[in-house]
Amino acid sequence: MAAFNEDLELQRLFAGEIEERSARLVAGAARLGGGEPEDDFLADMVREGHTIKGTARMMGYSAVSDAGKLLEDVWRSVREGELQPDRDLAGSLERLARELQGAVAADPATGTPGLATGMRDLRRSLAMDRLAIEELVPEEAVGSRGDYGDLGGLLGSLDSWAFGENTRVNAASLFRLINEICSLRVDAEAVVAAVGEVTRSLDDPSARDESLLRLGSMVEATEKAVIDLQTRAVELAAAPLSEITSTFRQLVRYVSRKAGKEIRFELVGDQNTADRQVLERLSDALRHLLVNSVEHGVELPDDRVAAGKPRTATVALRAEATDHRLSIVVEDDGRGVDWDAVRRAAVESGLLPEGGSADTESLRSLLFAPSFSTSRPSDLAGDGQGLAVVAEAVEALHGSLTLETEPGQGTRVSITVPTSRALQDVVLIVAAGQTWGIPELAVLDRIALDTVDVLETPQRTEMSWRGATVPVTSFAEAVGLRETAELTKVLVVSSPVGPVGFMVVDEIGRRQVAARGLGPVLDGVRHLTGAALLGGGDVVVLVDPSRLAERARAVTKPIGPRLRVLVIDDSRGARQVVGGALGSAGFEVDLAGSPTEALSVLAEQEFDAIVMDYVLPTMDGATLAGRVRDLGIDAPIVMLSGAATAEDQSRALEAGANAYLDKDDVRKGALAELIHDLTDA
């Protein structure tokens, strides 16, 4: 979508709105310095800053948008009692508000020097509040690089974008949460003491039973407290959808006026809440969908009348939040997708051969491909990145995306994402000897394999499902692994290009997990989105259903043998993650949990490469590498470690290792790329 700040008419309308709203903010700052303000007045000031933030962002004025966000945050802090109003604060608010209008005529990305100075002055008003929170919760209290749950550095924490911006929360709610955490720690200490009582009473059946009952009751109460704590923590960062939709009516009005179309815009359900990080991810995606509906979806008024439709078209955005998921539908009553035009554009762009044909399912996937468009670049249509941006945002949130269209009737795009970025509901399945997680909101059906009619066609394997025919494949094959166990279940999974069936060994059930990103050593495999700790050292690898569906349609039997890699790590979770990532990169992977097991396997089988952790039971990686070379094995050895010293690294290389990778600091996809380089594959 082209920047709206390049359109003179829209720029004039935008400048007029900023002039009006900045004048109200200047007057509000003067009123703030004159006495105790009323809540309704403060709510109006918050709304002014919020609207400036959203409108400026829509127009491409990032500097003005940042200033609007700061004004919104400060006015809200005053409204909620987190900042005490005084003349200095009022003066800072007034000076920044006066700079807004001049910034509209300046560089959209940088604004004016006065705007930057005004923002710096106003931020000082928040400094003491931030300092108080930092003193209360020091950095070392919230975790360290040596966290036992990161599998020695293989797992990342939250995605970097989650920490890219400050997230405003209510200070009183934050302090209540901290108090509850302290109370929970006391409860945890009581549970530990109760476990000690059970241990001491093992020889006395009566006392033991009494201690076990008391322990069970305490554990149950602690579990409820943890669940409540989790709910409060998630709600702390939640916000209504209206935070990103408040400017959408104006957006539709701008774009429809430019396109010469008459639009009635419906916005329903924007009072529903979700994690602010989720909303920020969806903001641009929803804007792209609305612009696409106005520009491509609905017809010109005269064309609609000629087709027997009302002169005024309808574009709607409807949202609903239920059971930890946010569902958003953007639809219009326009012409629908012209598949012939999509096919022609695919041929022109080289994605289809001249005279080639493709079914609707294949063409549907092209709509979400980067830089693909059926129209020429324009002020509104941009460069064809619109739907690709939508798909990327939904993928990043581990959600689902579907597109439905009917010629002459309209188009409907449905997005479903978790309401929290930190927590995911996943369906756990077993395939290729490992546990995997598929986002539950993408799972449409679970079926016993022996009840499914599977059909072999020259192009692919298919199954009948709900009156339609959908592709079906082994989950293991889709992720690049070899399946040796019997397949018993089929999971039907949604994707932008339609449902796909995946055959698995077993389905374990639904589980809510806290996702962790894959560390940089294992990054670069697009259909793996991360991993989650299940407790007891078990790890589930999380997959992206959309990317997996793309792979399922492209699965072909390998030509020739695949490279075999032996992964050696005493951590079961680390073996699962490394094995899953390498298997998905095209390697045939075997796993060993100890040096003894590894040496036994190496004595009987041949491998093209060996990946081992440095820190192992009974012997370290350098010693094991030497033992491997003593067996006459010359396969490349890659050593992984997040704890080894420079001396350890030198010892490993001298003992016969070919390469050493630090789990904390390597390039994306380094492990798979390195193995290919070492084997010249």
pLDDT in tens, 508-524: 988 888 777 766 666 55
Q: 181-195, 311-325, 444-458, 612-626: which has the minimum mean pLDDT?
A: 181-195
User: How is residue 337 annotated by DSSP?
Assistant: -
Q: What is the pLDDT of residue 6?
A: 58
Contacts of residue 676, defined as CB under 8 A and 6 or more positions apart, other chains included, come to none
Contact 542, 425 (CB under 8 A): no
Contact 496, 365 (CB under 8 A): yes
* Distance of alpha carbon 615 from alpha carbon 637, whole angstroms: 15
Q: What is the pLDDT of residue 595?
A: 92
Tens of pLDDT, residues 119-147: 888 877 665 444 443 443 444 333 333 34
pLDDT-derived band at 172 (thresholds 50, 70, 90) equals low
Q: What is the pLDDT of residue 515?
A: 73
Q: How far is CA 529 from the centre of its chain?
A: 8
Backbone angles phi, psi at 327, to 5 degrees: -110, 130
Tens of pLDDT, residues 412-449: 999 998 888 777 788 999 988 788 889 888 889 999 99
Q: What is the pLDDT of residue 129?
A: 44
Most confident of 68-77, 307-316, 380-389: 307-316
Residue in this structure with the two tokens 């290389």, named with its chain if needed: 653
pLDDT-derived band at 487 (thresholds 50, 70, 90) equals very high
3-class SS of residue 7: coil
* Distance of alpha carbon 250 from alpha carbon 3, whole angstroms: 15
Tens of pLDDT, residues 15-62: 888 999 999 999 999 988 777 778 888 988 988 888 888 778 777 788
Q: What is the pLDDT of residue 316?
A: 96
Q: Alpha helix locations (H) across 33-86? A: 39-59, 62-79
Q: 107-121, 235-249, 541-555, 600-614: which has the minimum mean pLDDT?
A: 541-555
Q: What is the pLDDT of residue 47?
A: 84
Query: Domain 559-681, what fold?
Result: Rossmann fold (3.40.50)
Q: Determine whether domain 4-140 maps to CATH 1.10.1200.10.
A: no
Q: What is the mean pLDDT of the chain?
A: 80
Decide if pLDDT at 301 tops 90.
yes
Cα-based distances in Å from 403 to 281, 328, 377, 391: 19, 12, 23, 11
Q: What is the pLDDT of residue 554?
A: 57
Q: What is the pLDDT of residue 266?
A: 96
The more confidently predicted of residues 302 and 348 is 302
CATH architecture observed for domain 240-418: 2-Layer Sandwich (3.30)
Decide if pLDDT at 570 tops 70.
yes
> Pairing relation of β-strands 528-535 and 506-516?
antiparallel
Decide if pLDDT at 664 tops 70.
no
* Distance of alpha carbon 143 from alpha carbon 148, whole angstroms: 10
Contacts of residue 113, defined as CB under 8 A and 6 or more positions apart, other chains included, come to none
- Taking every pair of Cα atoms in the chain, the longest distance, rounded to a whole number of angstroms, is 90
pLDDT-derived band at 506 (thresholds 50, 70, 90) equals very high
Rg (CA), the chain: 29
Decide if pLDDT at 277 tops 70.
yes
Domain ranges of the chain: 4-140, 170-236, 240-418, 422-557, 559-681
- Residue type at 487? L
Q: By CB neighbour count within 10 A (0-12 exposed, 13-18 middle, 19+ buried), where does 380 fall?
A: buried
CATH architecture observed for domain 422-557: Roll (2.30)
